[in-house]
Copies of this chain bind each other. A is one copy, B any other.
Amino acid sequence: MTRASSRRPGPPTRTERGIPEATVARLPVYLRALTALSDSGIATASSEDLATAAGVNSAKLRKDLSYLGSYGTRGVGYDVEYLRYQIAREIGVTQDWAVVIVGIGNLGHALANYSGFGTRGFRIVALLDADPTLVGERIGEMEVRDFAELEDIVKADRVSIGVITTPAGPAQDVCDRLVAAGVTSILNFAPVVLSVPDGVDIRKVDLSIELQILAYHEQRKSGEAALPQVPELPALNGMPDLPSVGGGVGA
């Protein structure tokens, strides 16, 4: 769309190299769908095909792709390999990003053992933990190292992405250390809201929240008529005991 020829007086100031956030979040899904098609030996796909594979509707997919440029051919569709490359380039996964994982407990172990990151644009360069009994343990090809080495590792390997899988308590401290060391993107698994300075991106993954969202809808399905059971406005001290639902900050 940014063909040099058209100087559009149009209002929305398109393609100032800025892609809507909602679209950015879907590009990885398209990338995966394209890879699947490619692996099946399919060379060309229409927006309809792609949309089905990605689980979205085709108008949305076409609009999303139009932010990257005009990479399709009218009457034909998209060249799978070519589009895959363009999306990978736009996302920035044509070369690997160095990642450190902090907190090698249950979840950290699972991530460390996961082979899927390497094929998707990421390279885990270090597994860090503060627990001395864990340091030195081998996981696959890697060895758990002391969290104190963080700064050296970040500097040596140009690490820009950090993954936090420690308990909630130390998470903010770990986060601060990561940021101070130069990490500018953080993926947080601990159930706390982390605060970071401007310029640092943070995303969270929270399984309890996902389950609770499902629970809300589940309650709607089954409870249609069973809701009025609970009083709408019990006295301030007159509500049932609620042991500790919602989860605290502890590990």
Contact = CB atoms under 8 A, between A and B. Distances in A.
A218 interface: yes
Interface string A37-58: 0010000000000000111000
A193 B33 CA distance: 9
A242 to B, nearest CB: 5
The quantity of this chain's copies bound in the complex is: 2
A39 B101 CA distance: 29
B97 A249 contact: no
A121 B244 contact: no
Interface string A95-131: 0010100000011011101111101111000000000
A216 B109 contact: no
Contacts of A117: 207-208, 211
B207 A205 contact: yes
A209 B119 contact: no
B99 A211 contact: yes
Interface residues of A, number: 93
A25 B209 CA distance: 8
Nearest to A88: B245
A216 B27 contact: yes
B35 A248 contact: yes
Contact of A208 (B55, B106, B120, B230): B120
Given A29-B209, A31-B246, A115-B251, 4 more contacts: A119-B245, A184-B218, A187-B207, A187-B210
Q: Across chains A and B, which 5 residue pairs bring their CB atoms closest together, nearest first? A: A92-B219, A55-B193, A35-B246, A31-B246, A185-B214
